[in-house]
């Protein structure tokens, strides 16, 4: 089930279950997962987008293997807080994914998550090639960590 309000998403989560964070791009999907205590987000992998059926099959495989209890999708709002075409695309992806799983799906404002991930990778002296390989799932980690931090106060 899709929850627009983060508080509703939090209430729908089963206790002691890990979460999965997704950073949806046009060509890739960055994936991060949390521990069962929901304290730390760990970047996991980048899924190269092909078709929704193939992409979703890999995501559902991760959900099953890692016993995920909820999915956090980064919502790419404009800097003024409004929603543009990328938000519509993310919401459409969530609707399609919700048909394949009963897990709660929530949204997290992802403004500047890729910028933060890029900055962290630059500070870690990561090569340009390596940054290109990991930026999406590192950004997913930032998205998920933001959501985890918010969950602590609900």
Confidence tier at 144 by pLDDT (50, 70, 90): very high
Each domain of the chain, given as residue ranges in start order, spans 2-152
As a whole number, mean pLDDT of residues 46-54 equals 95
Tokens of 48: 């190269």
pLDDT at position 133 is: 53
Q: Please calculate the CA angle 115-31-11 and round it to the nearest 5 degrees.
A: 100
Q: Which residues contact 47 (CB under 8 A, 6 or more apart)?
A: 28, 29, 31, 55, 58, 59
Residue 47, strand partner residues: 29
Quick: pLDDT tens for 56-110: 999 999 999 999 999 999 998 777 877 788 889 999 999 999 999 999 999 998 8
Q: Give the pTM.
A: 0.86
Question: Is the pLDDT confidence value at 134 over 60?
Answer: no
Q: Please calculate the CA angle 38-7-143 and round it to the nearest 5 degrees.
A: 50
Quick: pLDDT tens for 13-43: 999 999 999 999 889 999 999 999 999 999 9
CATH topology of domain 2-152: Nucleotidyltransferase; domain 5 (3.30.420)
């Amino acid at each position: 089930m899709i929850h627009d309000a983060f508080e509703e998403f939090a209430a729908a989560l089963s206790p002691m279950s890990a979460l999965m964070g997704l950073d949806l791009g046009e060509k890739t999907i960055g994936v991060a997962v949390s521990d069962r205590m929901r304290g730390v987000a760990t970047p996991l992998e980048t899924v190269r987008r092909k078709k929704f059926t193939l992409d979703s099959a890999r995501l559902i495989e991760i959900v099953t293997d890692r016993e995920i209890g909820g999915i956090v999708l980064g919502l790419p709002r404009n800097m003024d807080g409004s929603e543009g075409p990328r938000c519509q695309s993310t919401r459409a992806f969530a609707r399609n994914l919700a048909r394949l799983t009963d897990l709660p799906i929530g949204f997290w404002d992802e403004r500047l998550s890729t910028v933060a991930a890029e900055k962290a990778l630059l500070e870690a002296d990561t090569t340009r090639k390596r940054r290109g390989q990991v930026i999406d799932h590192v950004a997913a980690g930032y998205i998920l960590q933001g959501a985890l931090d918010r969950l602590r106060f609900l």
